[in-house]
Structure 1
Amino acid sequence: MAKVGKKNLRGRAGRMQGGRGSGRATKGTVRLWGRHAVEAALMNPRRQHRKLWATLDGIDSLSGELPPGFPLERAEVADLARLVAKDAPHQGLVLECEALPDLHLADVLDAEATRPIVVLDQVTDPHNVGALLRSAAAFNAAAIVTQDRHAPPESGVIAKSASGALEIVPWVRVVNLARALEEMAEAGYWRIGLAGEADATFAEALPAGPVALVLGAEGEGMRHNVAQHCDALAKLPISSEMESLNVSNAGAIALYAIATRA
Structure 2
Amino acid sequence: MAGGQKDVVFGFHAVTSVLRMRPHEIYDVWVDKSRVDQRAQLVLETARTRNIPVHHVGRSTLDKMAECDRHQGIVAKCQVSKGMPEKDLIPFIEKIEGAAFILVLDGIQDPHNLGACLRSANAAGVDAVLMPKDRAVGLTATVRKVASGAADITPIFQVTNLVRALKQLKDQGVWLTGLAEEATTSIYNSKLTGSIGLVMGAEGKGLRRLTRDTCDDLVNIPMAGQVESLNVSVAAGVCLYEVVRQKMINNHV
TM-score of the aligned structures, taking structure 2 as reference length: 0.87
Q: 1:69 and 1:228 mapped to 2: Cα distance?
A: 51
Match of 1:85 in 2: 67
Shift of 1:61: 1.4
Shift of 1:28: 2.0
Letter paired with 2:68: K
- 1:70 paired with 2:52, answer yes
Match of 1:222 in 2: 207
- Aligned residues: percent identity? 32
Q: In the TM superposition, what are the counterparts of 1:1-262 in structure 2 within 5 Å?
A: 28-45=5-22, 48-56=25-33, 57=35, 60-62=38-40, 63=42, 65-66=46-47, 67=49, 69-87=51-69, 89-103=70-84, 104=86, 105-110=89-94, 111-261=96-246, 262=249
Structure 1 vs Structure 2 CA RMSD: 1.9
Letter paired with 2:183: A
Query: CA distance change for structure 1 residues 186 and 106 in 2, over 3 Å: closer, same or farther?
Result: same
2:185 counterpart SS class? coil
Write out per-residue CA displacement over residues 186-242 of structure 1, whole angstroms, 9 at most, x where no aligned residue: 111110000011010112222321110000012211111110100000001221411
Contact 2:192 2:243 in 1 (8 A): no
Query: CA distance change for structure 1 residues 216 and 98 in 2, over 3 Å: closer, same or farther?
Result: same
Q: 1:136 and 1:58 mapped to 2: Cα distance?
A: 33
Query: CA distance change for structure 1 residues 61 and 195 in 2, over 3 Å: closer, same or farther?
Result: same
Q: 2:36 and 2:245 mapped to 1: Cα distance?
A: 38
Contact 1:189 1:211 in 2 (8 A): yes
Contact 2:107 2:137 in 1 (8 A): no
Q: 2:233 and 2:62 mapped to 1: Cα distance?
A: 29
Query: CA distance change for structure 1 residues 59 and 94 in 2, over 3 Å: closer, same or farther?
Result: farther
Q: 1:224 and 1:192 mapped to 2: Cα distance?
A: 14
Q: Work out the number of aligned pairs and report it.
A: 236
The unaligned stretches of length 5 or more in structure 1 are 1-11, 13-26
Query: CA distance change for structure 1 residues 94 and 210 in 2, over 3 Å: closer, same or farther?
Result: same
Q: Using the TM superposition, name which of 61-70 and 245-254 deviates more.
A: 61-70
Write out per-residue CA displacement over residues 51-99 of structure 1, whole angstroms, 9 at most, x where no aligned residue: 1101252774144532153211111212211211133x11110100012
Structure with more helix by fraction: 2
Contact 1:121 1:216 in 2 (8 A): yes
Q: 2:50 and 2:225 mapped to 1: Cα distance?
A: 59
TM-score of the aligned structures, taking structure 1 as reference length: 0.84
Query: CA distance change for structure 1 residues 202 and 52 in 2, over 3 Å: closer, same or farther?
Result: same
Query: CA distance change for structure 1 residues 77 and 43 in 2, over 3 Å: closer, same or farther?
Result: same
Q: 1:59 and 1:177 mapped to 2: Cα distance?
A: 45
Contact 2:110 2:137 in 1 (8 A): yes
Q: 1:58 and 1:231 mapped to 2: Cα distance?
A: 54
Contact 1:58 1:93 in 2 (8 A): no
Query: CA distance change for structure 1 residues 113 and 177 in 2, over 3 Å: closer, same or farther?
Result: farther
Q: 1:168 and 1:187 mapped to 2: Cα distance?
A: 24
